[in-house]
Amino acid sequence: MNEKLSIVIPVFDEAENIERLYSEITQTLSDPGYEYEIVFVDDGSRDKGLQKLLALRESDDRVKIISFRKNFGQTAALSAGFDCAQGEIVVTMDADLQNDPADIPILLGKIEEGYDLVSGWRYDRQDKWLSRRLPSVLANKLISWATDVKLNDYGCTLKAIKREVVKNITLYGELHRFIPAIASWMGVRIAEVKVNHRPRVAGQSKYGISRAFRVLLDLVTVKFLLSYSGRPIQFFGIPGLISGLLGGALAVYLTIQRVFMGIPLGDRPILLLAVLLILIGVQFVVFGLLGELQTRTYYESLDKPIYFIKDKYGID
């Protein structure tokens, strides 16, 4: 492995773990074949973590530090690390020592086999079953079904990603857990390997059961981005047409009853339902058309590609 590595690590109130984490990473990557940098992203920590990072930087110039003015979240921290990473392969991991740096060579080995993104699978997860493991299992199955990217552990931060993939991933909100699904849109080769997961020995977990609700909302966003971002008229238009056709059929039925059977319509709730379905159908189609206009403005004004090339032969 002669390519330079960038180890990107978001840090938020993990002062007690930083020195041990750094020591384990340097020990794992001490092989002469590894050229690397460690990019710590201090996500507005309130402890003495930044001071410890600066002390590491004084003794090792491979340590790079990005310091946020406040806590922006893990997605923003990873995005900043991606923007500043100089390595041909980017490895992401948590700062809480639950990810094992000794697993980095395993991920890199799969990259050498030709994969573009390798994600860790915390096979023997050391977390509470009810509050962490059970929601994670359910969320992983749901995300795999919705995105068609079958992974056992979307929540594992330990990943290895090629530079050309990282530089074409735009993260916002809390989409960091969906990086494999977002990358799949580019047609990358994705692998998953079992990695060690260790119990937390210091610091406090930043996640709770409320995260499950945010995951569901983010999943809707990812599903739209993967399947309909380039054709929003289909996302809005199909339910709009169904609603409009149902409302129109009801309106025709009521008209036949009124004209040919003399049945009054004034006190029938079904008339309001027909009108409502027609209006909803029109609104959905209009939303789809507006989405199409915005999509074209987005792609054309930013010269955004609608495809990604892996290799070129005989073409400059």
* Tens-place pLDDT, residues 205-219: 666 556 667 777 778
The answer to whether 105 and 158 are in contact (CB under 8 A) is: no
Ranges of the chain whose pLDDT falls below 70: 1-2, 32, 129, 131, 203-212, 298-300, 302-316
What pLDDT was estimated at residue 305? 60
The architecture that CATH gives domain 4-227 is Alpha-Beta Complex (3.90)
What pLDDT was estimated at residue 260? 85
What pLDDT was estimated at residue 316? 57
Residue 7 pairs with which residues in a beta bridge? 38, 91
What pLDDT was estimated at residue 314? 47
Domain edges within the chain:
4-227, 232-301
What pLDDT was estimated at residue 112? 92
Helices H, strands E: what count in the chain?
A: 10, 7
What pLDDT was estimated at residue 142? 87
Amino acid at 75: T
* Tokens (6 digits) for 179: 């990086």
Residue 92 pairs with which residues in a beta bridge? 8, 159
What pLDDT was estimated at residue 93? 96
